[in-house]
C-alpha cells in the first residue's frame, strides 16, 4: 500500500486495521447515492417529455449552446438559384501577351515572358518565321482581358478581345490568318491597333494617315462595333490609316515621318469629327516623305526613334517645340546610308524594356537603360543588329519589368 498509493506507515496500518464490513458499507453507500441520482434524473426527464413546452425550452437551450461552441462562419455559399455557367472571360487569367501582325494579315499571340531581355547590340531571337513574301508589320503588348480595336488601311474598324486570339505555343509559327477572326475584305489590312481595358469610357480616338492627315472623334462612337466592322475615316485617294491612339482633351500628339521629321501640336487644334468623316492636315510633308508613326505626348517622357537598319535613340520630349497643326515640324533623326530611314517612333514614360521587331521575324527585348539619350538632331546608336542579311526593322513597343505595357 505504501509503495502503490504513496501512503505513510500510519495510513497504511489504519487501512489494514479497518474491518471488512466497514469497507463494504462505504461501497454500498456509493452505489445507493448513484441510484438515487439516477432516479432523480429519470424523474426529471419523464417530466420533461410529458410537457411539450419544456421540451421546446430544452431544445432552444441546447441549440444556443451548439451555436456558441461551433458557430464559426459558413464556408460554403447557399444560393437561392442554380449558379450560371461561367463566361469565357471569367475563366481566363490576366496575363500580358505579345501580339504580332504581318503585312499579309497573320495574327499571332504569345505570352510576353517568352521573350527574354538582352543587351544592346545583340541579335535577338526568332519571334516567328513569315513566308519569304511576308514581313512583320506590328508589335503590341496587351492583357488577355483587353479589347483590341483594329483599324485598317481603308479606314474601317473592328473589335476583338485579346483572349479570343488563339495563343501560340512556339515562337517560330506564323500565327493565324486575321481573316479567320475578323471580317476584313480583300485588299484590306490592319495598320493600327488601339488597346483598351474598357469600351465604355470618355476621351477621343485619334487617327493618323500616311499622307499626314489626322482625325479626332469621340471614343463612344467605337463602343458598338459590328462583326463586319465600322467605317472610322473617309480617306483621300491613295491615303491609308497608319496610327491610332486614345487621347484626352488636353493631350498633344507628335507625328514622325520616314525622313526623320517630327511635328508636335495640341489635339485641341483638331476639331472633333463624326465617325464617317475625313481628317485634316496634321503635318506638311516634303515630296516623297510619308508618316511612319503618330503618338500621344506624355509630359516628362522620351521619344524613342528606331531606324530600319537598327539604329535608335531616346530624346526628351521637351526637345520638340510645339508647332501649329499642319506645320513641317523639326528634325528628329539624322538619316544616313548607315542608319536607313525611320521605321517607327514611340513615346515612352514608365517603361523599363522595349521590344523591337524586324521584317523577317527577329524580336529583341532590350533594357531601356541600354539605349542612349541623345539630342534631337542625331542619328542614334546601334540598338539591334539584323540577324539575317537584308533584314530591316519595322516596329517597337515598350514594356515594364514584368511584361506589361505601361499606361
Of 336, 397, 384, the closest CA to residue 101 belongs to: 397
- The CA-CA-CA angle for residues 69, 74, 76, to 5°, reads 150
Q: Which segment of 163-177, 240-254, 267-281 scores lowest on mean pLDDT? A: 163-177
Q: Which residue has the higher pLDDT, 208 or 110?
A: 208
Work out the pLDDT band at 19, boundaries 50, 70, 90. Answer: low
pTM, two decimal places: 0.70
The pLDDT tens digits for 47-80 are 889 999 989 998 999 999 988 888 777 778 777 7
The sheet with strand 190-196 has its strands ordered as 190-196, 147-152, 156-161, 230-231
Residue 260 has pLDDT above 90, yes or no: yes
Q: Which three three-digit cell numbers place residue 168?
A: 501560340
pLDDT attached to residue 331: 95
Q: Which three three-digit cell numbers place residue 384?
A: 539591334
Asked if residue 243 lies in contact with residue 291, where contact means CB atoms within 8 angstroms, the answer is yes
Work out the pLDDT band at 8, boundaries 50, 70, 90. Answer: confident
Tell me what percent of the chain is helix, strand and coil, each rounded to the nearest 5: 20, 35, 45
Q: Which three three-digit cell numbers place residue 146?
A: 483587353
Asked if residue 333 lies in contact with residue 260, where contact means CB atoms within 8 angstroms, the answer is yes
Of 375, 210, 341, the closest CA to residue 283 belongs to: 210
- The residue ranges of every structural domain in the chain are 2-70, 95-399
Q: Which residue has the higher pLDDT, 250 or 168?
A: 250
Q: For 366-392, what is the mean pLDDT?
A: 87
- The CA-CA-CA angle for residues 306, 377, 393, to 5°, reads 10
Mention the CATH class of domain 95-399. Answer: mainly beta
Residue 361 and residue 309: Cα distance in Å, rounded? 14
Of 89, 191, 184, the closest CA to residue 395 belongs to: 191
Q: For 365-387, what is the mean pLDDT?
A: 87
Q: Which three three-digit cell numbers place residue 270?
A: 483638331
Asked if residue 351 lies in contact with residue 397, where contact means CB atoms within 8 angstroms, the answer is no
Asked if residue 157 lies in contact with residue 151, where contact means CB atoms within 8 angstroms, the answer is yes
Residue 332 has pLDDT above 90, yes or no: yes
Residue 185 has pLDDT above 80, yes or no: yes
Q: Residue 398 pairs with which residues in a beta bridge?
A: 354
The pLDDT tens digits for 88-103 are 888 888 998 888 888 7
pLDDT attached to residue 22: 65
Other CB atoms within 10 Å distance of the CB of residue 380: 21
Residues comprising the chain, all counted? 407
pLDDT attached to residue 67: 85
Element (H, E) at 357: strand 353-358
Residue 403 has pLDDT above 50, yes or no: no
Amino acid at each position: 500500500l505504501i509503495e502503490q498509493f504513496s501512503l505513510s506507515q500510519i495510513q497504511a496500518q489504519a487501512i489494514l486495521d479497518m474491518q471488512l464490513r466497514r469497507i463494504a458499507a462505504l461501497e454500498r453507500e456509493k452505489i445507493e447515492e448513484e441510484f438515487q441520482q439516477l432516479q432523480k434524473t429519470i424523474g426529471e426527464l419523464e417530466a420533461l417529455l410529458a410537457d411539450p413546452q419544456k421540451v421546446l425550452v430544452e431544445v432552444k437551450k441546447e441549440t444556443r449552446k451548439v451555436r456558441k461552441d461551433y458557430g464559426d462562419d459558413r464556408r460554403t455559399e447557399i444560393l437561392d438559384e442554380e449558379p450560371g455557367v461561367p463566361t469565357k472571360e471569367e475563366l481566363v487569367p490576366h496575363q500580358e501577351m505579345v501580339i504580332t501582325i504581318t503585312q499579309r494579315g497573320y495574327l499571332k499571340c504569345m505570352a510576353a515572358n517568352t521573350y527574354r531581355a538582352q543587351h544592346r547590340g545583340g541579335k535577338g531571337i526568332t519571334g516567328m518565321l513569315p513566308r519569304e513574301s511576308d514581313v512583320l508589320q506590328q508589335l503590341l503588348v496587351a492583357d488577355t482581358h483587353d479589347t483590341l480595336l483594329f483599324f485598317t488601311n481603308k479606314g474601317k474598324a473592328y473589335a476583338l478581345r485579346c483572349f479570343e486570339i488563339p495563343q501560340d505555343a512556339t515562337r517560330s509559327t506564323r500565327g493565324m490568318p486575321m481573316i479567320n477572326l475578323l471580317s476584313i475584305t480583300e485588299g484590306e489590312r490592319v495598320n493600327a491597333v488601339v488597346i483598351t481595358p474598357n469600351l465604355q469610357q470618355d476621351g477621343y480616338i485619334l487617327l493618323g494617315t500616311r499622307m499626314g492627315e489626322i482625325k479626332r472623334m469621340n471614343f463612344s462612337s467605337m463602343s458598338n462595333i459590328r462583326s463586319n466592322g465600322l467605317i472610322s475615316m473617309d480617306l483621300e485617294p491613295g491615303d491609308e490609316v497608319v496610327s491610332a491612339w486614345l487621347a484626352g482633351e488636353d493631350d498633344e500628339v507628335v507625328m514622325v515621318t520616314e525622313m526623320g521629321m517630327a511635328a508636335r501640336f495640341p489635339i485641341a487644334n483638331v476639331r472633333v469629327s463624326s465617325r464617317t468623316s475625313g481628317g485634316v492636315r496634321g503635318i506638311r510633308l516634303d515630296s516623297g516623305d510619308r508618316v511612319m508613326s503618330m503618338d500621344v505626348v506624355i509630359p516628362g517622357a522620351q521619344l524613342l526613334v528606331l531606324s530600319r537598319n537598327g539604329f535608335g535613340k531616346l530624346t526628351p520630349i521637351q526637345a520638340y517645340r510645339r508647332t501649329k497643326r499642319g506645320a513641317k515640324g523639326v528634325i528628329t533623326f539624322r538619316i544616313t546610308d548607315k542608319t536607313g530611314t525611320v521605321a517607327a517612333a514611340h513615346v515612352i514614360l514608365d517603361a523599363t524594356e522595349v521590344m523591337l521587331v524586324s521584317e523577317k521575324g527577329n524580336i529583341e527585348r532590350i533594357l531601356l537603360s541600354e539605349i542612349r539619350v541623345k539630342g534631337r538632331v542625331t542619328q542614334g546608336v546601334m540598338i539591334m543588329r539584323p540577324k539575317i542579311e537584308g533584314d530591316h526593322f519595322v516596329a517597337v513597343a515598350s514594356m515594364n519589368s514584368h511584361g506589361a505595357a505601361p499606361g
